[in-house]
Amino acid sequence: MPDIKYKRILLKVSGEALGEKTAVGDGFGLNFSKIHEVCESIKTCVEMGVQVGLVIGGGNFWRGVKNGTGKLQRSHADAMGMLATVMNAIAVGDVLEQHGLDARVLTAVEMNKFAEYFTRDTANRYLNEGKVVIFAAGTGNPYFSTDTGAVLRGVEIEADAILMAKNVDAIYSADPAKDPGAIRYTQLTYDEVLAQHLKATDSTAMTLAMDNDMTLVCFGLAEENSIVRVVRGEAIGTTVKNKF
């Protein structure tokens, strides 16, 4: 078996990364060829002996703050965002099953017709059994992003690392699409991220990861075999820790 650096991971994938190109813009709905690619990478990780927890954003259907501001009360807009993550979790769970993996969707709010209610012990048991566990509905509360939900679940399951698969290949000092002089970082401490207000995740997620001494890796989902390469310990993207 190949060497692996992280034996239990929490993988966060943005909803937009799994979306289609449309007349409105990129990252809407579900692009099943992209979903199959992600699921194939997850299958490779599982076959290597990695235990995989998964969080998927909901931005390909609805972003609470972005889509609801000025139109809906924030709690209602965020509730719609949580439901969007459940739709994505059900879809990805189905495709994982098509790849021969046993997947379970656990939600932060009770909806037993569609998925199981999350408890830490249930998630831990499924992971130890080799199942892929998909955590949906964020934290179950408004005003928290799916990045914060991912860190929370990663801490709860005692993951070796949280892997943030993004549309950008690393953390930069500024938006590289707008600033060609943006500095690309390979390593950062949480203090540096927070002090420089770097837009890797929201500050709540970063602070939670820092307080629990969690390793976090931000990398580009579009890079070839990026998920597997991170699990093996390749230096891609940006690694964030309390100290190196």
List the pLDDT tens digit at each of the 244 positions of the chain: 568 999 999 999 999 999 987 766 678 899 999 999 999 999 999 999 999 999 999 999 998 888 998 899 999 999 999 999 999 999 999 999 999 999 999 999 999 999 999 999 999 999 999 999 999 999 999 999 999 999 999 999 999 999 999 889 999 999 998 999 999 999 999 999 999 999 888 999 999 999 999 999 999 999 999 999 999 999 999 999 999 9
Please work out, in degrees rounded to the nearest 5, the angle formed at the alpha carbon of residue 53 by the alpha carbons of 105 and 81.
Answer: 55
Give the strand pairing for 238-241 and 216-220.
Answer: antiparallel
Judge contact between 27 and 17, C-beta under 8 A: yes
Domain boundaries, the chain: 8-241
CB atoms within 10 A of CB 147: 25
Supply the pTM of this predicted model. 0.95
CATH ID of 8-241, from 3.20.20.70, 3.40.980.10, 3.90.105.10, 3.40.1160.10: 3.40.1160.10
